[in-house]
Structure 1
């Protein structure tokens, strides 16, 4: 990039940087974003296909979850990365609908490119898209239906259909509803913090079960500890059961074997007193974030206590919520009121694959789902499906609003937005109509992935909606348009509204870009000399003779 002053060039940018401007920059971004949308489009709907993603190490992920696919793809293009952000936002806010959001954003950009070729300015298009999104959200509110707990199974079934969870659909539907309801607190459902999903090797997906408590992927600290404790009184520590190190640097001078023996006996006594205090508090099960040394292990076994060491922070938090225990920072500071309760704490498993079950907790605020599968890839995909289903069930518990599924809302929105466009003057009208066309790409994608004729499908759906049948959608299993509400194919209102918001924001941001300044990729940033391995605290190391 350079300017001219009295015939002399003025260099503004580094020659290593490349610059793309105007319509070329817009096409550059739209093409990249559309490529991402096309990559996940074939996963849309109950008949969508899966993707296999293999990393450089050879590990693979098999999934049709849009957010997971985009997260695993090594995307370099900046505009394409915005599409990944759409999926991440959609997943965080609503729990499902990631593929629909990305497909809609890609199609909005594709329609915008056509309008730009007709000399409609990008800022006019973004204004039109913003008007259309506001109107679409208003229409969705009108289409929303008040929901009760009776529809929760239909919500879960809609989310799980077409995924690996199809292998045991009905049991998993009931499991999702039961699990989400069990952690409802103050009208809110926190899936991430309150539901623990664990894989267990062996069995089949049908064996997947709900645990009224917590399952931890750990084993007992020592094989001589009891394998099972009934009427468990649980102490949770964030400190180790071991000989404490001094906080300051200190030395102990030992001049004889007797002194060494005495020092070790003193250390052993200190740990014994701590374990004795634990036992006196009434605790018979101990979970700790830190370690347990050999001395601590000896006295715990001697007292017949059940202990688990090096628990993760999230496991400790879930244990607290499930058992009602309090985290204590001093081993000898545990009181009876700090203890949690459970009917049973037991180690189960075969060979090296063992887990700790904490069951029969009284009104637990954290619970577990144990997925059985002979293949780890299947278990991982079922976990993703269950996570989506739990999140959307939680959406309905919190918002109490649903809409029909099967592409029904998108067709109704498209029809009403076209009517709305005729009330606008100026070129924004074209953008609102383009927005309506983009919305129809979602039912088109569902039909296409099911092997149905997309034109006939859209025409039939338009006809039904023009007759006032607002809940008519596509049943991919029969290939016909049917009443989605009557079939129980429903989705949370939150998922649909977030799709509109995420896709519109991303499309508008990309459309406003008319200049791309891109630096040459070097692989790593320049490092100052004082930050290299040859310098330490600003001092160069001494030179050594190579001879």
Structure 2
């Protein structure tokens, strides 16, 4: 039989068969190990320093993997799993990454025992289906009231630089923010996540974090003479410059007299003053301009009692438009009342050396902002990530199917259910299903290890209590942990986070296991 011929460039390298599988598995396990110690409420942080010296301190799995300089294509797939988990449900990124590594490690053992990768893939797919069955059986039947949602938010934030007391207080703010934007339609609650903003600001402790009804624009007035507070304000949003118009054709003007110079200056002033007069005549109290504003225009606006903000980002302009109902205008010509928005108040407040514009209330739509405070840039950055995750998991709990016990209890239940069902599967696929259960068991074992408890003894206790009482989790206490009821301890997670972690980790692991040939162009 004629052997196939491959035509590759001289700079290409090829890895085939078991060597390719070993390389991919090793890469996956290495990425999982990099984030394993961050898992859980007592997880440790990572300090990431890039080539320019910028430092990021975090235990957020998605952030760690994004900041790492990863070249191996298999490892990059695990980074994509974490990013997908973050985008879809906002939390569980470390869980997903660790689970991929464990699935690959168990598969490696099966391959050593001559189990074909295709059989492992089929077994993992069946095990993932069984895992989702277990998650459905664990759903908490209680209504998702404020207390239960606060427990979801607190579980997400605990261990992410917030401290236990701060996490409890911040969780209450998160729930309040979500409740402000809940729409009740046809008996179902829906949440527009885009109406919840998180704005970080250094200079105070996390206890100073507050909820603002409206949005915050990180800009100061274009002129010192402008008002710093306006009530019942009419708002305009402009996407063009307020400067002297420039012609499309290069031209030079010859001025030969003082009178001609004065006339030119007066013409410019008249044009610039006209901008302010047009806005004032339209009843505008506050202007948000995407582009620059000439200093003279700013002065004329100040004389007219109009507050103007220049060089506003497109995102901020869209947020202001959303909360006020104003349209983004490309010109000041023919401004109509429908083009303008209205807001209860706009206040410019000083935080440290910076001014922030608070746009509160609005008659066109609703939006809220969590003003997150922290003592240093590193602290406030981590708190911002924690608050984003907390908002996402509360929204996921409301929109995507309720909550399940946390603290590893769901993983123990999944492993037990999968392992029990494997007995009814014939052939070598049973080994893969059992390996999947062992991989899931690694998550509560890691939780225990990160709290300082003995991982093997804790896992044995978890299985025993689960068999007796149907629920068992790792409850962190001080520098150690105990096995108990996570629901009684108020530790719950969105079911959507568990489902996404199982599904995305299984898909990534099976895709890598099916690769037996790697061709790389160097």
Q: Give the shorter-chain TM-score range.
A: over 0.9
Q: Alignment partner of 1:491: what SS?
A: strand
Q: Alignment partner of 1:145: what SS?
A: coil
Contact kept? 1:284, 1:305, Cα under 8 Å: yes
Listed as ranges, the matches of 1:463-474 within 5 Å are: 463-467=464-468, 469-474=469-474
Contact kept? 1:214, 1:319, Cα under 8 Å: yes
Q: Alignment partner of 1:290: what SS?
A: coil
Q: List per-residue Cα deviations over 1:490-518 (Å, max 9, x = no partner).
A: 11110000001110000001000101112
Contact kept? 1:235, 1:334, Cα under 8 Å: no
Contact kept? 2:403, 2:495, Cα under 8 Å: yes
Distance 1:271 1:195 in 2: 37
In structure 2, the partner of 1:512 is 514
Q: Is 1:462–2:463 an aligned residue pair?
A: yes
Q: Is 1:12–2:12 an aligned residue pair?
A: no
In structure 1, the partner of 2:295 is 294
* TM-fit CA distance, 1:198: 2.0
In structure 2, the partner of 1:56 is 51
* TM-fit CA distance, 1:363: 7.2
Q: Is 1:382–2:376 an aligned residue pair?
A: no
Contact kept? 1:408, 1:470, Cα under 8 Å: no
Q: List per-residue Cα deviations over 1:74-100 (Å, max 9, x = no partner).
A: 001111001100100000111100000
Distance 1:422 1:134 in 2: 15
Distance 2:390 2:91 in 1: 8
In structure 2, the partner of 1:525 is none
In structure 2, the partner of 1:441 is 442
Distance 1:350 1:11 in 2: 65
Q: Is 1:162–2:159 an aligned residue pair?
A: yes
Q: Alignment partner of 1:56: what SS?
A: coil
Q: Would the alpha carbon gap of residues 325 and 25 (structure 1) be closer, same or farther in structure 2, given more than 3 Å must change?
A: same
Q: Is 1:148–2:139 an aligned residue pair?
A: no
TM-score if structure 2 supplies the norm length?
Answer: 0.94
* TM-fit CA distance, 1:50: 0.2
Q: Is 1:111–2:93 an aligned residue pair?
A: no
In structure 2, the partner of 1:523 is none
Distance 2:174 2:93 in 1: 20
* TM-fit CA distance, 1:351: 6.4
Q: Alignment partner of 1:354: what SS?
A: strand
* TM-fit CA distance, 1:172: 0.5
In structure 2, the partner of 1:85 is 80
TM-score if structure 1 supplies the norm length?
Answer: 0.90
Distance 2:434 2:351 in 1: 61
Q: Which moved more, 1:212-221 or 1:436-445?
A: 212-221
Q: Is 1:133–2:131 an aligned residue pair?
A: no
* TM-fit CA distance, 1:423: 0.8
Q: Would the alpha carbon gap of residues 416 and 492 (structure 1) be closer, same or farther in structure 2, given more than 3 Å must change?
A: same
In structure 2, the partner of 1:251 is 251
CA RMSD of aligned residues (A): 1.9
Aligned equivalent of 1:47, options 42, 45, 50:
42
Q: Which moved more, 1:454-463 or 1:234-243?
A: 234-243
Q: List per-residue Cα deviations over 1:130-157 (Å, max 9, x = no partner).
A: 1111121122122223442231111111
* TM-fit CA distance, 1:170: 2.4
Distance 1:377 1:53 in 2: 12
Aligned equivalent of 2:91, options 96, 108, 115:
96
* TM-fit CA distance, 1:394: 0.6
Q: Would the alpha carbon gap of residues 240 and 503 (structure 1) be closer, same or farther in structure 2, given more than 3 Å must change?
A: same
Q: Which moved more, 1:328-337 or 1:34-43?
A: 328-337
Q: Structure 1, unaligned stretches of length 5 or more? A: 521-547
Q: Alignment partner of 2:182: what SS?
A: coil
* TM-fit CA distance, 1:277: 1.8
Q: Which moved more, 1:80-89 or 1:346-355?
A: 346-355
Distance 2:3 2:416 in 1: 54
Q: Alignment partner of 2:51: what SS?
A: coil
* TM-fit CA distance, 1:11: 7.4
Listed as ranges, the matches of 1:387-398 within 5 Å are: 387-398=388-399
Contact kept? 2:99, 2:443, Cα under 8 Å: yes
Q: Would the alpha carbon gap of residues 507 and 400 (structure 1) be closer, same or farther in structure 2, given more than 3 Å must change?
A: closer
Q: Alignment partner of 1:348: what SS?
A: strand
Q: Alignment partner of 1:20: what SS?
A: strand
In structure 2, the partner of 1:533 is none
Distance 1:376 1:259 in 2: 55
In structure 1, the partner of 2:61 is 66
Listed as ranges, the matches of 1:108-507 within 5 Å are: 108-146=103-141, 147-150=143-146, 151-166=148-163, 168-185=166-183, 187-191=189-193, 193-246=194-247, 248-251=248-251, 253-257=253-257, 258-349=259-350, 352-362=353-363, 364-467=365-468, 469-477=469-477, 479-507=481-509
Contact kept? 1:183, 1:364, Cα under 8 Å: no
Q: List per-residue Cα deviations over 1:317-366 (Å, max 9, x = no partner).
A: 11112222222222243333333223322222156422112224347522
Q: List per-residue Cα deviations over 1:200-238 (Å, max 9, x = no partner).
A: 232211001111111111111111212222222211111
Q: Alignment partner of 2:487: what SS?
A: helix
Q: How many residue pairs get matched? A: 511
Contact kept? 1:51, 1:69, Cα under 8 Å: yes
